[in-house]
Structure 1
């Protein structure tokens, strides 16, 4: 986590920011915690550029004040808590904080970190998040924070939508080659990405993480009729269990599943892990607001 504050600042407004590779969401509250407005803007993942991140964060803040019917407050009157994708890289965090306007307080964590805070209201617990990518975070009872996964598309993100999509394209490739039979999943991928070698190669060359993740629903839709799709879903569920076990070896912490893929895989988790699953107290923006109000490092 990164933190910087103005001496003796007394913020009038607290702003929670949840920023990723597809968009930025902001919630504005007053010093009593009353919700005033919300705003959205483009992506603010740090890996896409520091200048862009601040541009979209500030645009979303402007829109939140506008929705609240308020003039944009001076930065010195605002405390900002941010959970941003890519904030696990120290050099990026340093550049982002160096470019920060003079807010009363700026507290930066990863989007997984603020999701963890929001899910358990800052109390011990764990999260396993699987959407386009995957990551796990936990705050253990001894106060130690642990992160697993989140290594990124192609080399990690097991159990995620991107991982499922990439695996389904491999199945489609093998079927095209005649190395495997063409089941319902392979044929579904062909309909989206191309049923000829050149077409499938061209599609895969430009798809990127989000393009592959858009194939993940095909795996779920094919599972009843296709053993290959079922095996992929079982492997994905096992990957989420591995993350949960690494976060909480004693299986004693409440567990929140976050993201569309994690929720769809939940019925495939073993009973002992499903027994730990609880509903989240809040989301990543709630966690970012906690960060803005009570900035502290979860070590």
Structure 2
């Protein structure tokens, strides 16, 4: 059993990866960011992004990455697919310790400081989670793109692109919103859009979400954002029907979507204490402590 010299927290989604590096005592040394590491984009790609971001964090701290002395805590999108999770663990390098959980769980740990509460994470994808006062936890949503992930960036983009399609073939008048969507896709005509649609993945659709937000006054965009707010409320109600727990809206779309959450739920929103990467750092700390106990080197 290798000794743990460093703790690493990983927050991996469909758009990017965030890394927090700390020493064995938990003192933060550096942060870094990299490409997507959500498992839906492939296990090999996930590890490539994680390794590149970790190497960047170590370099920023003036250190060399040596996996054998690292305890890695990962909060990743896509671990609810057991085959993807098994593949990810199978391809892991030699580590001092490893714990892989849903990014919903690490977001939950970070947002409420390990205390009871609800989170709704809205970024490239979306998921909601609750930590009960007895320590149990559960999730709602998060079934993945394209059928699930309500209120996410990919969900918004997938629906917004319909407006561009209809503007291109005359079913609705072209306008500034449709033009901005087409410009974001670098598309000029119907054939180009068909090619884009055939190649687009979750990340590509999420790239259209800023266009929706920039045109929030447009009827189509306004309707999508209102539906996103209503869907966030439904996720909260599914996990906390008695409305007894605080709620943190997390992720890259948290701030712009907060105003669309119904007033009955908006009053319960609290700023997250820390983010998913720091929640994953706590996973790494626990994993490191567990590996020490297993090796018989802890009291």
- TM-score bracket, normalised by the shorter chain, equals 0.7 to 0.9
CA contact (8 A) 1:176 1:195 kept: no
CA contact (8 A) 1:43 1:56 kept: yes
* Structure 2 residue ranges without an equivalent (≥5): 290-299
Aligned residues: 287
Residue 278 (structure 1) shift? 0.7
Using a 3 Å threshold, how does the CA distance of structure 1 residues 30 and 155 change in structure 2: closer, same or farther?
same
Using a 3 Å threshold, how does the CA distance of structure 1 residues 209 and 104 change in structure 2: closer, same or farther?
closer
Residue 58 (structure 1) shift? 3.4
Partner of 1:154: 146
Partner of 1:203: 196
- C-alpha distance in 2, partners of 1:101/1:190? 42
2:17 corresponds to which of 13, 18, 24:
24
1:48-127 matches, within 5 Å, as: 48-73=41-66, 75=68, 77-127=69-119
C-alpha RMSD of matched pairs (Å): 2.6
Are 1:45 and 2:38 an aligned pair? Answer: yes
CA contact (8 A) 2:15 2:203 kept: no
Q: Kindly provide the CA deviation profile for residues 194-219 of structure 1, in whole angstroms up to 9, marking residues without a partner as x.
A: 46433432332223222222222332
- C-alpha distance in 1, partners of 2:63/2:152? 40
Residue 277 (structure 1) shift? 0.8
Q: Structure 1 stretch 179-188 or stretch 11-20: which is displaced more?
A: 179-188
2:166 corresponds to which of 141, 157, 174:
174
1:32 match: secondary structure: coil
Are 1:242 and 2:254 an aligned pair? Answer: no
- C-alpha distance in 1, partners of 2:36/2:180? 30
Using a 3 Å threshold, how does the CA distance of structure 1 residues 57 and 167 change in structure 2: closer, same or farther?
closer
* Structure 1 residue ranges without an equivalent (≥5): 1-5
Using a 3 Å threshold, how does the CA distance of structure 1 residues 227 and 148 change in structure 2: closer, same or farther?
same
